[in-house]
């Protein structure tokens, strides 16, 4: 079954969350959906028995890290997954410095990791996609092999230029890149990983994306914010 991740980013207020929960009530049609709301709403989803994850975790377990949230605190709220290395974290919060530590912490505390990787438009145009993806994979995995298994890490391939832009790579391009990611991680780290696609997935392009054979699921940002649209979208996913 495909894995569907709904990344709300820093959107929605309490009244929107209440309405969202009302609308999706019992309507997920047995799809495997993980919600990634802002931390303050994690418990709302957990209390209704939905799978819920954090959009990020602190690289420290506890202590002097003002403004951050510890994985132990997030676990208390009910997360079983976390995104790590979303391109917005890499861009605004220098996340590359902390990704390896975050992976180790998540694995240590038995939280499943969705590692986001992806190239910029310049790198894509320069044919550097694979080089960049390998670098991001190595940074995250190479010091953490003792903690990682096929079931605790999933990759989300998200070309940065496709996030929130309504631009999307061709099916062939996505398929080839996913296949290269799987092959690289298997040959280098002996891990058979699942790979999600993320970047401007919506209810209009999902049927075309569904033709891609090696996609294991989707990471969906903007199109997860409206519950009606999101339900339409997920019902088109096998
Ligand atoms: C994302 O932020 O992970 C994402 C895929 O966003 P969007 O669907 O809006 O492109």
Mean pLDDT of 94-98: 94
Query: pLDDT tens, 57-89?
Result: 999 999 999 999 999 999 999 999 999 999 999
pLDDT at residue 66, as a whole number? 97
CATH superfamily of 3-234: Aldolase class I (3.20.20.70)
Split at pLDDT 50, 70, 90, the class of 26 is confident
Q: Which atom of ligand 1 is nearest to the CA of 86?
A: 3
Query: pLDDT tens, 169-205?
Result: 999 999 999 999 999 999 999 999 999 999 999 999 9
| Average pLDDT in the chain | 97
d(CA 32, CA 50): 9
Residue nearest to atom 2 of ligand 1 (CA): 221
Separation of CA 219 and ligand 1 centre (Å): 7
Is 61 among the residues known to form the active site?
no
Q: Name the pairing type of β-strands 51-54 and 32-36.
A: parallel
Split at pLDDT 50, 70, 90, the class of 134 is very high
Q: Greater confidence, 27 or 82?
A: 82
Mean pLDDT of 198-217: 98
Is 90 exceeded by the pLDDT of residue 237?
yes
Least trusted range by pLDDT, from 2-6, 13-17, 23-27, 199-203? 23-27
Split at pLDDT 50, 70, 90, the class of 227 is very high
DSSP 3-43: EEEEE-TT---HHHHHHHHHHHTT-STT-EEEEE--GGGHH
Is 158 among the residues known to form the active site?
yes
- The pick from 201, 204, 233 for probing ligand 1's pocket by mutation, whose C-beta has the most ligand atoms within 8 angstroms, reads 201
Split at pLDDT 50, 70, 90, the class of 32 is very high
Q: Which atom of ligand 1 is nearest to the CA of 224?
A: 8
Tokens found for residue 105? 């912490």
Count of CB atoms within 10 A of residue 149's CB?
Answer: 11
pLDDT at residue 98, as a whole number? 96
Yes or no: say if 206 and 224 are a contact pair by the CB < 8 Å rule.
no
Helix (H) or strand (E) holding 46: helix 42-47
Q: Name the pairing type of β-strands 194-198 and 217-220.
A: parallel
Break the chain into its structural domains and give their ranges: 3-234
């Amino acid at each position: 079954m495909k894995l569907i991740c709904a990344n709300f980013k820093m959107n929605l207020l309490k009244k929107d969350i209440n309405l969202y929960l009302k609308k999706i009530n019992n309507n997920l049609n047995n799809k495997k959906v993980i919600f990634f709301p802002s931390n303050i709403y994690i418990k709302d989803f957990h209390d209704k028995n939905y799978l819920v994850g954090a959009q990020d975790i602190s690289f420290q377990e506890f202590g002097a890290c003002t403004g951050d949230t510890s994985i132990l605190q997030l676990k208390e709220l009910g997360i079983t997954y976390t995104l790590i290395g979303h391109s917005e974290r890499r861009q605004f919060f220098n996340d590359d410095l902390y990704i390896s530590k975050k992976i180790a912490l998540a694995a240590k505390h038995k939280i499943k990791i969705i590692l986001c990787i992806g190239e910029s438009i310049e790198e894509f145009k320069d044919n550097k996609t694979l080089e960049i993806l390998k670098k991001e994979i190595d940074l995250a995995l190479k010091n953490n092999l003792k903690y990682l298994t096929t079931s605790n890490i999933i990759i989300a391939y998200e070309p940065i230029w496709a996030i929130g832009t309504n631009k999307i790579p061709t099916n062939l391009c996505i398929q080839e890149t996913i296949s290269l990611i799987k092959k690289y991680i298997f040959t280098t780290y002996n891990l058979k990983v699942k790979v999600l696609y993320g970047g401007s997935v919506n209810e209009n392009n999902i049927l075309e994306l569904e033709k891609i054979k090696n996609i294991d699921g989707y990471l969906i940002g903007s199109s997860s914010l409206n519950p009606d649209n999101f339900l339409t979208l997920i019902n088109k996913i096998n």
